[in-house]
Amino acid sequence: MSMEALYQDIILDHYKNPRNFRKLDHIPEDQVFENPSCGDSLKLEVKIENGIIQSVSHESSGCAISVSSASMMTALLSGKTVAEAQNIVARFLAAFRGEVEGIPEEYDDLLALEGVIKYPLRVKCATLAWHALDTILKSQS
């Protein structure tokens, strides 16, 4: 199996079985994050205790890239400190802006999204959840 096919499988797995996905009906419409160019939308709930992210839940809809990216993000960041999470978010977004080369291997499934960096139209799909988390963490600190 080629790496590309493997990555496609990882993305589809997260899309079909998104981790940490649940209905977040209590989050108001004005706190929904959207990527209008593709039709992706996302609600995000972050629970923080003593500076540690206890859980990140999302309610995502849209394309496979946006949903799988949100799923991968929530899986990676649960249990991290807020500072660690902010570093990872900054590093991920820098990769998608082309400021640093690629996605670090320790980000696990996220490597599967690396191919998206080449497609400017899909970058917003891959980064929607990350910008949302960045916004939420900044508003809480």
String marking each residue 88-117 x if it binds Zn ion according to CB under 5 A: ------------------------------
Residue 42 to residue 9: CA distance in whole angstroms: 22
Shortest spacing between CB 4 and Zn ion, in angstroms: 19
Burial 71-81, CB ≥16 within 10 A → b, else e: bbbbbbbbeee
Residue 108 to residue 104: CA distance in whole angstroms: 8
Number of other CB atoms surrounding residue 62 within 10 Å? 18
Is residue 38 a contact residue for Zn ion (CB under 5 A)? yes
Shortest spacing between CB 79 and Zn ion, in angstroms: 28
Residue 80 to residue 57: CA distance in whole angstroms: 14
Contact criterion met (CB below 8 Å) for 70 and 24: no
**Which residue in the set 18, 33, 60, 66 belongs to the binding site for Zn ion (CB under 5 A)?**
66
Shortest spacing between CB 129 and Zn ion, in angstroms: 11
Nearer to Zn ion, 72 or 125 (CB): 125
Residues 113-132 that bind Zn ion (CB under 5 A): 125
Residue ranges in contact with Zn ion by CB under 5 A: 38, 40, 62-63, 66, 125
